[in-house]
Structure 1
Amino acid sequence: MEDRKIELELKKYGSNQTTPASNGLTLARVITTSHLNYSIITDEGQYKAQVAGRIANMAVGPEDFPTVGDWVQVRLPENVEDFAIIERLNDRKSVFLRKASGQKSVAQLVAANIDWLLLCMALDDNFNVRRMERYLAVAAASGSDLAIVLTKADKSDNIEKQLSELTEISGESRIIICDATSENGLSELKSFMKSGQTYAFLGSSGVGKTTLINHLLGSHDLATKEVRQTDSHGRHTTTARQLMLLPNGSVVIDTPGMRELGLLDADIDSTFKDVQFYAKQCKFKDCSHQNEPGCAVQAAVANGELSADRVNSYLQLLQEKSHNNELRGKARENAKVNRMFGSKNQMKNFRRNLKKKR
């Protein structure tokens, strides 16, 4: 009977993986990351892990390494205290990534193989529709299903107005309202989350993600801090991403609060379908929707059919995505050159020498 329990252990950590391990390797799921050190769960139990040298040598960016939620194939150590070696990274069914903080356009993986992204926003003074547009655009490119989770309903001064503003931008995404101070304030969220499904909570610092997860866990294992009263912003209580099991069989990923959400992969068109509807009617196919004659988007703004703020947000996100992805492409290309030749100068020398031989 004990062997049967061990055999079923990994299945508890998500049902979104169908690729088995091969060549003597063991299937595992990454449950925490810290730099290039990982914690993984297997049918044999939990192990510390590191990537094989082959993966590290072939990587040209952070997205080539495992992240929380990834399914990997590992070589287990003889001693459980030693590191398992991650030999293969299984194909991702979904991945949420953003531009890392700073000047360089480098991807930062947040979580992978997520069934549902729960985009959290508080109904206090931190409520911001433009920020949610950004989250929706990035999340729409992840391959996951989306839902908006509104926290701190007890702090809202006009919840009807806030819901109306969100409904205008949320598309088909479900909106779930939570009040962690009420006995039944999380009933809608609890009934929404199903056994075997993986849910990632994403949002700004102070929106109450960790508080929600503590209630879902039925404990206070995860530390929380109060938000600042001056601006309703919180501090980074969660400092690392981690994957956990809930009592109802759901799998959750808690993530650090985000001060900024830089765009790399983003599905802006699907997030702004209302703007796209008019953009297709513009006189010129390459219309920038600013000063061109025959711009149906600006005409819709003038007629009150589109919000000027929403159009400005759309244009800003398009420009940011284009700029960051151009930089990202150059960075990945440079990384490939450095990996193969050591530097661009060495690559040029190699080409010159090859040309002489010919």
Structure 2
Amino acid sequence: MSSPVISGLSALSPLGWDDSLAAELPAGLIPARVARVDRGAAEVLSADGHAQAHYSAQVRRAAAADPVALPCVGDWAGIRRLPEGRFELETLLPRRTAFVRGGVGRLSRGGLSGDSQGQVLAANVDVVFVAEPALHATDTADLSRIERLLALAWESGGLPVVLITKSDLIGEGLDYLMEEVATAAPGVDVHPICSLTGEGVEIVRGYLEGTRTAVVLGASGAGKSTLVNALAGTAVMETQQVRAGDGRGRHTTVHRELIPLQGGGLIIDTPGIRRVGLYDMGEGVDMVFSDIEDLAGRCRFADCRHDSEPGCAVIAAIEDGTLPERRLESWNKLQREAAWMASRSDARLRKELQNRWKIIHKEMRKPGRNRP
């Protein structure tokens, strides 16, 4: 555990503890924030320092019914000290924000396939940093990955920010890359940073004033752990040098961890994300594609599919070059995936309800059971 030992009741405030959270804490429990999770237990930070707390039966049952209820990094929890001295995590306090990804879904000729279960990557996060590495001037950013992560970031309730990491590697191509990413991230701040030289690190630190918590997300080798070390001012996370030949970093981080920073604020480092499924989308996709949503409002027909309908403002924008065609293709793909996830979730809820009724009916049919 690389987080500093915290002692004294006043230490809860820098971790983000406040009166509204205190009002949610059940009587008799000790407040603690989850810094790291292992199978069946969590490493937590409390007023008395760092401890390991095993999950109670209640927590395990809730997680079995819905994986989103599983404790995750950033959660606030109520723990109890047992007579033998060890701690038990008895309950989670309500999450203010949660970055949740869905099961991996794949597009095929038969449609989408995958898992509708969700997984919480980070909770109670104020800022979501989406890290995309700048490599060589001939390379372009993975705009589809940025758009997908931004949709989840908006949906989480946190503030999304895009960081173009390793900006020293791209040279004169940086301005073009910044414009390209800005087009894919309307309404979102985009900053170039180089953690090794310190460029942009103070700008990033500005998002973490006070007790704000941020999570850094991105592919393996995006420089997430190097950024965390630069913000912490010391090597709290292991890193590796970029590979010779392609400039890409090697995957190092294998777990999520909450790091309190000496200058204030907290940051969560995460393993590299290969595939990210959407989950329970509300307005997340609409926020990422606000440019298309604005254009759609000008279409002649309210139910315009932006395909070949006359008077389509979206198609007109593509034809005159103000909207990249790639944006419409990406929007259509994420809209289909969000709709598929919603249908899978509804089907899962219906199945759970059917199973409950089967159990009730089975109990009612047992011999000797009193009937009205």
TM superposition score normalised by structure 2: 0.84
Instruction: Specify the alignment match of 2:307 in structure 1.
Output: 290
Instruction: Specify the alignment match of 2:123 in structure 1.
Output: 112
* Change over 3 Å in CA distance of 1:315–1:183 after alignment to 2: closer
Unmatched 5+ stretches in structure 2: 1-5, 106-113
Deviation at 1:273, TM superposition (A): 1.1
Candidates 74, 96, 101, aligned match of 2:99: 96
Alpha-carbon distance in 2 for matches of 1:46, 1:5: 9
Q: Which amino acid aligns with 1:204?
A: A
Moved more, 105-114 or 171-180: 171-180
Candidates 136, 140, 144, aligned match of 1:130: 144
Candidates 85, 90, 94, aligned match of 1:87: 90
DSSP 3-state at the match of 2:156: coil
Deviation at 1:237, TM superposition (A): 1.2
DSSP 3-state at the match of 1:9: helix
Q: For 1:28-65, what per-residue CA distance to the aligned partner results, in whole angstroms no more than 9, with x for missing partners?
A: 11111123311112112222123322233244211112
Correspondence 1:339-358 to 2 at 5 A: 340=356, 349=362
Candidates 63, 72, 75, aligned match of 2:68: 63
* Change over 3 Å in CA distance of 1:62–1:126 after alignment to 2: farther
Q: RMSD of the TM alignment (CA)?
A: 2.8
Correspondence 1:144-293 to 2 at 5 A: 144-157=158-171, 158-184=173-199, 186-228=201-243, 233-266=248-281, 267-293=284-310
Candidates 11, 17, 23, aligned match of 2:13: 11
Deviation at 1:185, TM superposition (A): 5.3
Q: Which amino acid aligns with 2:89?
A: I
Q: For 1:99-118, what per-residue CA distance to the aligned partner results, in whole angstroms no more than 9, with x for missing partners?
A: 23473222111000001111
Alpha-carbon distance in 2 for matches of 1:336, 1:33: 31
Alpha-carbon distance in 2 for matches of 1:34, 1:336: 31
Q: Percent same amino acid among aligned pairs?
A: 30
Moved more, 33-42 or 250-259: 33-42
Deviation at 1:24, TM superposition (A): 1.1
Unmatched 5+ stretches in structure 1: none
Candidates 70, 78, 82, aligned match of 1:73: 78
2:208–2:266 CA contact under 8 A, matched in 1: no
Q: For 1:226-273, what per-residue CA distance to the aligned partner results, in whole angstroms no more than 9, with x for missing partners?
A: 444566554431111110111112211111110112111441111111
Alpha-carbon distance in 2 for matches of 1:36, 1:228: 36
TM superposition score normalised by structure 1: 0.87
Q: Which amino acid aligns with 2:78?
A: Q
Candidates 46, 53, 71, aligned match of 1:49: 53
Deviation at 1:152, TM superposition (A): 0.3
2:7–2:49 CA contact under 8 A, matched in 1: no
Aligned residues: 348
1:15–1:197 CA contact under 8 A, matched in 2: no
Q: Which amino acid aligns with 1:198?
A: T
Q: Which amino acid aligns with 2:142?
A: N
